[in-house]
Chain A
């Protein structure tokens, strides 16, 4: 996020796109609700009628995967109607001319045909966004989990730059991080391209610095990203170390990966429960959960916060950092750290963005009203940074990147007539090895479901509560049908959490060209009633159902 979470309540125009905020980031949603209660305008762009649409001024219910069309059309309107911030564009950006040429083709009337969003709504949203001083954009995986995810982000950044909506409190571009420490894992250099602090592995100066610090020769070329690694298993990759992820539940097109794992030589897993992937493990290390160890997590607003050991791990389970030291030393290294504080100090020593952060400061200081420190925080005196790009874009000039719409890799056809998107719910979390062991959450949401529009359900003789099979070119799973107007006609939606109905059996592993992030949000699917499956028990959790009250 370029802004802070606490700034959200003062935003006057919130544009939420590809974020089911109240389910995936409930506390950020509370801040948005507070802004709306104080008179802010909320616009939600999402293929589903998510909860936030109930308090939105407008819901732009676009077809999945057509974001570039929608966003370029909004930019088209802003340029056409002279609503750009000329002074900001002049002073702080480059590449505007080329962008303007591209945008000329994205007329709202044509956008309506592609996206399904009325041209008038596109014009209205564009005008309101451009003309509101405190305007914030909030997005998450609905933007990034596409084969053109990076294009979607560029299209958003173009809107931000052309309106000068950056570098101020409550005004900016805000990706909401999906997991507790996505930000921190990237910050720490768990990336094929970056050392800690976003320093490129192919930058000779940076590499020399780390060779000096670590006392070894380092590889000059970037490695493979996760998507590439998973596709290379059994072909170019024959040994895997997996910490804290159930790849056979979370990665796309898991049946292909499952086959490939048979040709893998060696798999080490470090985790807290057995999971789908454990079936292929050669060694499993028993690890610890957040409550059993010390460390830091970095949240969406770049805030580094302490994790504190509260209870002792069970049996012989060890803290993950301890296991990693033990493994390195078993491989011949001579690592010695007296604890996470010392590891953290080593990490920030060579990473200027975080150089001012220390355990001592995290323990003792309150900055800008709260505990924790937001990077950039470059010196021990630096109070941390509430919002980025103050007084100009960090890289010097903000670069407009013109993007053209590219359709998703697999769209509905005669054989697979529906468009499937997947995602998270409020009551479970990713592979759900934790939340499905929680009786209360399981009472609220016991089993896999698929939302299908009444029109599509009728065509297939599917009734609310029926057991159905969802099929794609890659595999099939069963779930309970929720006949619901929450989804668009022609679209279905299913959560990823259920190991007996792995949504990722269905998903397409086509990845974004830059990030490798897979197209979890769009693939072609078909649904049919399972004969003899009977009507499942109703469970709460969905609204806009075909029958009965919203609940």
Chain B
């Protein structure tokens, strides 16, 4: 067996696979290196510079996320030099970031703020003039962009390009006026954007945020509870987290937004589409059926008790069986419902009514 190549990281010798970056090796080995622009789904960008490390023999600090491990490298991820550099960097980001007075989206943490606090970055470097243009007039219903809180890490634009593949947003303009924009500054609604919301999901500062009003704190701060479940639209079976305000809807609980699982932990890799991420409003819609309904002698549907509705249904279906036989009944089950419910429908048809006339709705 050939010897696997190794690096030295903070004094320990660690083996690595060819192609792994220093960040990959460190994380696999449980060494924390902070990042803002890194996302395991995206090509390394080396944009935010918070992951800089010292490599013996290299005159300058190098970004761990974008530097491939090479046999024999001696790497240090914590030093006075790195700390000094990181503090200055975070102070500069904060000077270019209007965190003060920023409305806080519920259940979303500002990774930049948290990092600045954690590393005790100076907060007295003042404010840079705001030169970056936003898109306040964008009439799309889901995604807002606040140029003031953006640090141009380009996670959103890279996600849009590399993963969603529609390149609806991109870095635009130059120098201090660089911003995240669409072609001609159009509303996302009028671009190639498919409103998957990946830009919101990957943003480390909250510059890309949800527009949905319930995602924002209205009253006093209330904790959101994340419930991991399976999307109910297409057959991909994406895992997603329903963010529930327990006190909402008169104590029944209100879904205020949907967030992604950690990339790499579920087969959707943290990705969602427009329906999975945004189309949950129907759950709490006023048109929902809330009581059983029975057709009266007047030909209209009337509210009824469960008891009456159940016995009417039982009598009606049993009556058809008596008059025409069991195969005069048909049971249409649902591919929108759970496996257990489909099991019960076929069991109902077969054992209670005595027919194999049962089929789920998507008979393909």
- Asked if B329 and A237 sit within 8 Å, CB to CB, the answer is yes
Closest partner residue, chain B, to A187 (CB atom): B339
- CB of B7 closer than 8 Å to a CB of A: no
- Asked if B273 and A426 sit within 8 Å, CB to CB, the answer is yes
- CB of A293 closer than 8 Å to a CB of B: yes
- CB of A55 closer than 8 Å to a CB of B: yes
- Asked if A239 and B328 sit within 8 Å, CB to CB, the answer is yes
- CB of A268 closer than 8 Å to a CB of B: yes
Q: Say whether, besides A182-B335, A343-B343, A272 and B235 are in contact (CB < 8 Å).
A: no
- Asked if A284 and B337 sit within 8 Å, CB to CB, the answer is no
Closest partner residue, chain B, to A9 (CB atom): B269
- Asked if A281 and B293 sit within 8 Å, CB to CB, the answer is yes
- Asked if B344 and A242 sit within 8 Å, CB to CB, the answer is no
**CB-defined contacts of A333 to chain B, threshold 8 Å:** 351-352
Q: Say whether, besides A188-B346, A310-B227, A443-B141, A296 and B339 are in contact (CB < 8 Å).
A: yes
Complex Cα distance, B320 from A225, in Å, reads 19
Residues of chain A in range 424-463 having any CB-CB distance to chain B below 8 Å = 426-427, 429, 433-435, 437-441, 443-444
**CB-defined contacts of A27 to chain B, threshold 8 Å:** 236, 238, 268, 271-273, 276
- Asked if B351 and A55 sit within 8 Å, CB to CB, the answer is no
- CB of B82 closer than 8 Å to a CB of A: no
- Asked if B338 and A229 sit within 8 Å, CB to CB, the answer is no
**CB-defined contacts of A304 to chain B, threshold 8 Å:** 339
Complex Cα distance, B195 from A145, in Å, reads 29
- Asked if A295 and B338 sit within 8 Å, CB to CB, the answer is yes
- Asked if B335 and A241 sit within 8 Å, CB to CB, the answer is no
- Asked if A331 and B340 sit within 8 Å, CB to CB, the answer is no
Shortest C-beta distance, A288 to chain B (Å), equals 9
Which of A177, A312, A325, A340 sits near B252, CB closer than 8 Å?
Answer: A312
Complex Cα distance, B192 from A100, in Å, reads 46
- CB of A517 closer than 8 Å to a CB of B: yes
Complex Cα distance, B139 from A395, in Å, reads 55
A-B contact pairs, 15 of them (CB 8 A): A30-B271, A145-B364, A185-B339, A241-B332, A241-B348, A241-B349, A243-B332, A266-B319, A273-B287, A283-B295, A291-B227, A330-B311, A333-B351, A437-B285, A517-B364
Known: A25-B234, A310-B227. 18 other contacts (CB 8 A): A144-B364, A181-B235, A181-B335, A188-B339, A219-B356, A223-B327, A229-B330, A241-B345, A244-B335, A272-B289, A304-B339, A315-B291, A324-B345, A347-B343, A426-B273, A440-B279, A443-B189, A515-B363
- Asked if A28 and B236 sit within 8 Å, CB to CB, the answer is yes
Closest partner residue, chain B, to A312 (CB atom): B252
- Asked if A268 and B317 sit within 8 Å, CB to CB, the answer is yes
- CB of B314 closer than 8 Å to a CB of A: yes
- Asked if B334 and A6 sit within 8 Å, CB to CB, the answer is no
Complex Cα distance, B22 from A361, in Å, reads 35
- CB of B85 closer than 8 Å to a CB of A: no
- CB of B360 closer than 8 Å to a CB of A: yes
**CB-defined contacts of B196 to chain A, threshold 8 Å:** 26
**CB-defined contacts of A326 to chain B, threshold 8 Å:** 306, 310
Which of B165, B239, B251, B336 sits near A180, CB closer than 8 Å?
Answer: B336
Q: Say whether, besides A236-B327, A268-B316, A540-B190, A30 and B352 are in contact (CB < 8 Å).
A: no
- CB of A238 closer than 8 Å to a CB of B: yes
Q: Say whether, besides A283-B312, A315-B291, A321 and B237 are in contact (CB < 8 Å).
A: no
Q: Say whether, besides A180-B231, A433-B282, A297 and B237 are in contact (CB < 8 Å).
A: yes
Give me the 10 closest cross-chain CB pairs, A-B, nearest first: A299-B237, A315-B290, A295-B338, A244-B334, A177-B235, A223-B356, A239-B320, A440-B141, A311-B253, A26-B273
Complex Cα distance, B283 from A291, in Å, reads 8
Q: How many B residues have CB within 8 A of the partner chain?
A: 121
**CB-defined contacts of B252 to chain A, threshold 8 Å:** 311-314
Give 1 or 0 for each of A206-246: 1 = CB within 8 Å of chain B CB.
Answer: 00001000101111011111110100110011111111110
Q: Say whether, besides A324-B345, A441-B275, A285 and B295 are in contact (CB < 8 Å).
A: no
Shortest C-beta distance, A149 to chain B (Å), equals 8
Complex Cα distance, B189 from A201, in Å, reads 51
**CB-defined contacts of A332 to chain B, threshold 8 Å:** 314, 352
**CB-defined contacts of B170 to chain A, threshold 8 Å:** none
Which of A282, A286, A315, A427 sits near B316, CB closer than 8 Å?
Answer: A282
- CB of A116 closer than 8 Å to a CB of B: no
- CB of B318 closer than 8 Å to a CB of A: yes
Give 1 or 0 for each of B218-262: 1 = CB within 8 Å of chain A CB.
Answer: 000000010111111111111100101000010111110000000
Which residues of chain B have a CB within 8 Å of any CB of chain A? 139-142, 162-165, 189-192, 194-196, 225, 227-239, 242, 244, 249, 251-255, 264-269, 271-276, 278-285, 287-295, 301, 306, 309-314, 316-321, 323-324, 326-364
Which of B271, B318, B347 sits near A331, CB closer than 8 Å?
Answer: B318
Q: Say whether, besides A27-B236, A183-B235, A438-B278, A295 and B341 are in contact (CB < 8 Å).
A: yes
Complex Cα distance, B349 from A188, in Å, reads 13
Q: How many A residues have CB within 8 A of the partner chain?
A: 153
**CB-defined contacts of B165 to chain A, threshold 8 Å:** 29-30, 33, 37, 55
Q: Say whether, besides A223-B355, A240-B329, A343 and B321 are in contact (CB < 8 Å).
A: no
- Asked if B362 and A178 sit within 8 Å, CB to CB, the answer is yes
- Asked if A219 and B350 sit within 8 Å, CB to CB, the answer is yes
**CB-defined contacts of A328 to chain B, threshold 8 Å:** 344, 347-348, 352
Residues of chain A in range 465-482 having any CB-CB distance to chain B below 8 Å = none
Residues of chain A in range 267-304 having any CB-CB distance to chain B below 8 Å = 268, 271-274, 278, 281-287, 289-301, 303-304
- Asked if A189 and B342 sit within 8 Å, CB to CB, the answer is yes
Which of B192, B287, B350, B352 sits near A274, CB closer than 8 Å?
Answer: B287
**CB-defined contacts of A237 to chain B, threshold 8 Å:** 327-330, 357
- CB of A485 closer than 8 Å to a CB of B: no
Which of B232, B293, B316 sits near A297, CB closer than 8 Å?
Answer: B232
Shortest C-beta distance, A206 to chain B (Å), equals 12
Complex Cα distance, B227 from A317, in Å, reads 21
- CB of A265 closer than 8 Å to a CB of B: yes
- Asked if A291 and B346 sit within 8 Å, CB to CB, the answer is no
- Asked if A305 and B242 sit within 8 Å, CB to CB, the answer is no
Q: Say whether, besides A241-B317, A266-B319, A307-B338, A317 and B163 are in contact (CB < 8 Å).
A: no
- Asked if A25 and B236 sit within 8 Å, CB to CB, the answer is yes
Q: Say whether, besides A185-B337, A281-B301, A443-B141, A307 and B362 are in contact (CB < 8 Å).
A: no
Shortest C-beta distance, B271 to chain A (Å), equals 5
Stretch with Cβ within 8 A of B (4 or more), from A61-69, A77-85, A124-132, A190-198? A190-198
Complex Cα distance, B268 from A303, in Å, reads 12
- CB of A141 closer than 8 Å to a CB of B: yes
